[in-house]
A and B are shown apart, each in its own frame.
Chain A
Amino acid sequence: MDIAEGFRFHGDKIVNRWVEYTLSTYTSSGFFLKERDKFANPVGGNLREGLQKLFLLLSRDADPQEFTAPLEQIISIRAVQEFTPGQAVAPLNAVKHIVREAFAADKERQHLVGELYDFEFSVDLAVIAAFDIYMQYRERLYQVRIAEIKSGNHILTDSKCPSSMLDGDNKKIIKTVNGI
């Protein structure tokens, strides 16, 4: 039995475990796991979809360029949640351990554990790419802040409109105006 067969055979189980693990980093992981409608559950739905796609790519030794789309689907979300950078990308690594666990527990496929070098190397590349993507999204977040400030919406506060002088000492302004 070759490793491709091993990934096919255990694929669904591995992905489910990976999704479960990733969603366990949220306080309300129960709901994120249970609800399968992507629009009613955007975090759970997108993470599941992204990890499914990513696993297929990792298990067939795909071009790392292809990792970008599913990684963005996952990391764009985790980049604006309350995670440290490490916490945001760490669950990606878990798939290495999950795959080893799955193969080790399967008598017929135990020998595949020794053949995981390429797979694990792909995971490493994905984690490195995830760091880049994490930073891209953080940069984008700051650009969004800057764009918002430049758009003029910020005039709601710190307004430079002359009438904002009225906030201060009215008497002083009246004196100035009257030349006193």
Chain B
Amino acid sequence: MSVPKLEQLSQSVVQGPSLAAGAIPTRDWMDIPVKFTPGSYAYVAKKDKVEYLNSQSGLSFPNAREWSPEDDDWKLPEGWKEIILKGLQERLGKFRSLKIFMDCCVRCGACADKCHFFLGTGDPKNMPVLRAELLRSVYRNDFTLGGKILGKMVGAREMTVSVLKEWFMYSYQCTECRRCSVFCPYGIDTAEITMMLRELLHLVGIGINWILEPVSNSNRTGNHMGLQPHTFKDNVEFLVEDVESLTGVKPNISFNRKGAEILFITPSADVFAEPGLYTAMGYLLLFEAIGLDYTWSTYASEGGNFGLFTNNEAMKKLNAKMYAEAERLGVKYILGGECGHMWRVVHQYMDTMNGPADFLEKPVSPITGTVFENAASSKMVHISEFTADLIKHGKLKFDKSRNSHIKATFHDSCNPARAMGLIDEPRYVLDHVVDWVEMPENTIREQTFCCGSGTGLNTDEIMELRMRAGLPRANAVKYVHEKHGVNMLSCVCAIDRATLTSLNDYWTPEVGVCGVTELVANAIVQEDETRGELEEGLRTMVF
């Protein structure tokens, strides 16, 4: 009697438009079309943004139009299929890695359960191997002999509108975090496959506004926020005033100063939005404490590079201002703030893309004399390396008790951890300034879980998607909160500071988010400061 009832309950559970409630798949993955519903996709790029970008030198963003992913007709340009296939052919010739990644996967499945999107959704097309297969199937069909002859038998399929829609859905359900690559025996970089998918989609005018508008802002004013030089300057000056009223110490700052020793570049979010601006106040205090001879730039006013999430031409163009400004100002090298994807661009692409920066010197810390051999070629040093070196040489005086209201943990931001190996430096810094604990080992260091909102997916219309994609990270945060009383999640990434705040607000509202440099500045003891009377840390003082 009860068995049929359970089946009936099961039927009602799996009915309806749910993708996740599909129970046992009865069809081949190629035969399951994607369905776009509100919340399942990020808003598409506005027509005027695409038009503007397409009109700019060195950039190509064709087919500006009004359209919606929910419409059957995506208003693709005539000959769109040829455009895509030609684009793929060009990229296979141009990027050796793409050609290798298309050919060498043995479908061992090591990556399958490593993706936070898969872990949060259970959608098989979010397994990295299958996400790559979305492109690989088309590659097989048109660029391999086996595929041309045997077709579907060898996993080949024709490029159709349905395939294109699938590409859009799943290349924007990947944050290019590269966790899967850590487990791939061949080292296939799924992030690069997603990058290629997005590049190809842009060829026919498919892109999202949360990425293209910041790219357009950045192309115009130098930063994602679209801040003009005077606004950028004003914002940093406001922060100087805040620091002065909170600590009694007024940091010296300068903008576009020729002859400064160091050019400092950080994501513009740090000077504009909470909680990033506390990190920016941290930079100001830190640099003041060591008397650093540095300058901000109102031109290279953005460390982040949303161009990375569109195509290589846009990435290159937006990145070019860093070296250009360093050369114009005649600095010795560049110091970079806490950012995630900025460091992927800087560490893996900048040197060959816009370098060599022969006009700069091999970075040497003016305070300790340490030579940063690791940045000998890129000429750009990470703030955490720089700070760790200062601490190692005893150049900073700390009162760790100023952070005693904080029990921290550390989130390795995907790009610094996996794209540049910045793993121990922030930990060394934290050891000296705050009481902190690690999250479980399969969620940190090289195996860190993404915030779920990287690569320009930090937009609010896909909040549910972000929450489920961020579940693996949030799950580990919740664990250390419950076990160790952790109340602060520290990180070295501007996007993380914004997105982890939302993630925690949903999963563990008791845990705040801060930058590592904010904690450093909280603990720094300087002469003539007046914050001794304050009972709690810098953040708390603001409110």
User: Footprint of B on A, CB under 8 Å?
Assistant: 21, 24-29, 31-32, 35, 37-43, 45-46, 76-77, 80-84, 86-87, 90-91, 93-94, 97-98, 100-101, 104, 137, 140-141, 143-145, 147-149, 151-157, 159, 161-164, 166-168
Assembly CA distance A101 to B442 (angstroms): 39
A161, B119: Cβ atoms closer than 8 Å:
no
Assembly CA distance A81 to B120 (angstroms): 8
Look across to chain A and name the residue whose beta carbon is closest to the beta carbon of B23. A24
A32, B273: Cβ atoms closer than 8 Å:
no
Assembly CA distance A151 to B276 (angstroms): 10
Assembly CA distance A168 to B46 (angstroms): 13
B122, A83: Cβ atoms closer than 8 Å:
no
Assess A152 versus B274: contact at CB under 8 Å? Given A28-B123, A31-B113.
yes
A90, B13: Cβ atoms closer than 8 Å:
yes
A90 partner residues in chain B, CB cutoff 8 A? 9, 12-13
B493 vs chain A, min Cβ distance (A): 14
B536 vs chain A, min Cβ distance (A): 22
A39, B442: Cβ atoms closer than 8 Å:
yes
A35 partner residues in chain B, CB cutoff 8 A? 113
Assembly CA distance A30 to B20 (angstroms): 13
B120, A43: Cβ atoms closer than 8 Å:
yes
Interface: B520 (CB within 8 A): no
Which listed residue, A26, A31, A45, A97, touches B5 by the CB 8 Å rule?
A97
B9, A148: Cβ atoms closer than 8 Å:
no
A143 vs chain B, min Cβ distance (A): 7
Assess A153 versus B122: contact at CB under 8 Å? Given A97-B5, A161-B227, A163-B220.
no
Interface: B225 (CB within 8 A): yes
B132 vs chain A, min Cβ distance (A): 17
Assembly CA distance A90 to B467 (angstroms): 21
B120 partner residues in chain A, CB cutoff 8 A? 42-43, 81
B502, A152: Cβ atoms closer than 8 Å:
no
B460, A101: Cβ atoms closer than 8 Å:
no
B507 vs chain A, min Cβ distance (A): 7
A43 partner residues in chain B, CB cutoff 8 A? 119-120, 122, 471
Consensus secondary structure, chain A interface: helix
- Stretch of B207-215, B369-377, B527-535 that contacts chain A: B207-215
A41, B113: Cβ atoms closer than 8 Å:
yes
Assess A161 versus B272: contact at CB under 8 Å? Given A43-B471, A104-B2.
no
Which residues 249-285 in B have Cβ within 8 Å of A in the complex?
Answer: 269, 272-274
A28, B122: Cβ atoms closer than 8 Å:
yes
B505, A46: Cβ atoms closer than 8 Å:
no
Assembly CA distance A143 to B273 (angstroms): 18
Interface: B359 (CB within 8 A): no
B185 partner residues in chain A, CB cutoff 8 A? none
Assess A159 versus B507: contact at CB under 8 Å? Given A28-B124, A29-B122.
no
B3 partner residues in chain A, CB cutoff 8 A? 97, 101
Assess A21 versus B10: contact at CB under 8 Å? Given A82-B21, A151-B501, A153-B458.
yes
User: Footprint of A on B, CB under 8 Å?
Assistant: 1-3, 5-6, 9-10, 12-14, 16-25, 40, 48-49, 52, 112-113, 118-124, 127, 209-210, 213-214, 216-217, 220-221, 224-228, 231, 269, 272-274, 440, 442-443, 458-460, 463-464, 467-468, 471-472, 475-476, 479, 498, 501-502, 505-507, 509
Which listed residue, A32, A154, A163, touches B122 by the CB 8 Å rule?
A32
Assembly CA distance A72 to B272 (angstroms): 35
B20, A82: Cβ atoms closer than 8 Å:
yes
Which listed residue, B112, B119, B463, touches A144 by the CB 8 Å rule?
B463
B2, A164: Cβ atoms closer than 8 Å:
no
B498, A83: Cβ atoms closer than 8 Å:
no
A167, B48: Cβ atoms closer than 8 Å:
yes
A82, B269: Cβ atoms closer than 8 Å:
no
Assembly CA distance A143 to B40 (angstroms): 19
B479 partner residues in chain A, CB cutoff 8 A? 38-39
B9, A93: Cβ atoms closer than 8 Å:
yes
Q: Which 8 A-B pairs have the closest CB atoms?
A: A26-B122, A152-B273, A42-B475, A97-B6, A80-B467, A100-B2, A163-B228, A82-B20
A76, B507: Cβ atoms closer than 8 Å:
yes
Can you name 25 A-B pairs with beta carbons within 8 Å? A25-B13, A25-B20, A26-B21, A27-B19, A29-B24, A31-B113, A38-B479, A39-B476, A42-B472, A81-B464, A83-B20, A94-B6, A94-B9, A97-B3, A100-B2, A137-B506, A144-B502, A148-B463, A154-B460, A156-B213, A157-B459, A159-B226, A161-B227, A161-B228, A167-B216
B112 partner residues in chain A, CB cutoff 8 A? 31
B505, A140: Cβ atoms closer than 8 Å:
yes
A76 partner residues in chain B, CB cutoff 8 A? 506-507
B18, A83: Cβ atoms closer than 8 Å:
yes
Which listed residue, A80, A87, A98, A167, touches B464 by the CB 8 Å rule?
A80
Assembly CA distance A31 to B11 (angstroms): 22
Look across to chain B and name the residue whose beta carbon is closest to the beta carbon of A37. B442
B6, A39: Cβ atoms closer than 8 Å:
no
A144, B226: Cβ atoms closer than 8 Å:
no
Assembly CA distance A27 to B126 (angstroms): 11
B25, A27: Cβ atoms closer than 8 Å:
yes
A76 vs chain B, min Cβ distance (A): 7
Which listed residue, B40, B118, B442, B502, touches A148 by the CB 8 Å rule?
B502
Assess A82 versus B19: contact at CB under 8 Å? Given A39-B472, A140-B505.
yes
A80, B472: Cβ atoms closer than 8 Å:
no
B273, A155: Cβ atoms closer than 8 Å:
yes
Look across to chain A and name the residue whose beta carbon is closest to the beta carbon of B470. A80
B10 partner residues in chain A, CB cutoff 8 A? 21, 24, 94
A144, B505: Cβ atoms closer than 8 Å:
yes
B210, A147: Cβ atoms closer than 8 Å:
no
B225 partner residues in chain A, CB cutoff 8 A? 155-156, 159, 161
B460, A148: Cβ atoms closer than 8 Å:
yes
Assembly CA distance A17 to B21 (angstroms): 18
A41 partner residues in chain B, CB cutoff 8 A? 113, 119
B459 vs chain A, min Cβ distance (A): 8
A147, B502: Cβ atoms closer than 8 Å:
yes
B22 partner residues in chain A, CB cutoff 8 A? 27
Assembly CA distance A164 to B215 (angstroms): 13
Assembly CA distance A137 to B468 (angstroms): 13
Which listed residue, B5, B119, B224, B471, touches A156 by the CB 8 Å rule?
B224
A81, B13: Cβ atoms closer than 8 Å:
no
Look across to chain B and name the residue whose beta carbon is closest to the beta carbon of A23. B122
B113, A40: Cβ atoms closer than 8 Å:
yes
Look across to chain A and name the residue whose beta carbon is closest to the beta carbon of B504. A144
A82, B460: Cβ atoms closer than 8 Å:
no
